[in-house]
Amino acid sequence: MNMKDLRIRVGKKAEEIAVELGVAVSTVRNWDQLKTAPRMTPMGFEKLMKVYQCTFEELVQAQKEAGAIDD
C-alpha cells in the first residue's frame, strides 16, 4: 500500500488532501507517484493519519513504498 492507495481508499482527490493538510497539490501528487514521501512534524503526521484515515503502521508501510524508510 502506498500513499495513493491510502488516498483512493478514503475517496479523496489530491486537491482535497492538499487543502486539508495545507500543502501544495503537487506535493500530494509527488507522494502519489512515489517521488517523495511526507516530511512533517509529529503533529503533522497525526493530521495526515486522520485525513488518510489510516493507522501509523499503514503510514509507515506507505513511506517504505516511497523509499523514505528502510526496513
Tell me how far apart the alpha carbons of residues 7 and 15 are, in angstroms, rounded to a whole number: 11
* pLDDT (average), residues 6-17: 97
Cβ(2)–Cβ(62) below 8 Å: yes
Q: What is the pLDDT of residues 14-58, one digit of tens each?
A: 999 999 999 999 999 999 998 888 888 899 889 999 999 999 999
The pTM of the full predicted model, rounded to 2 decimals, is 0.86
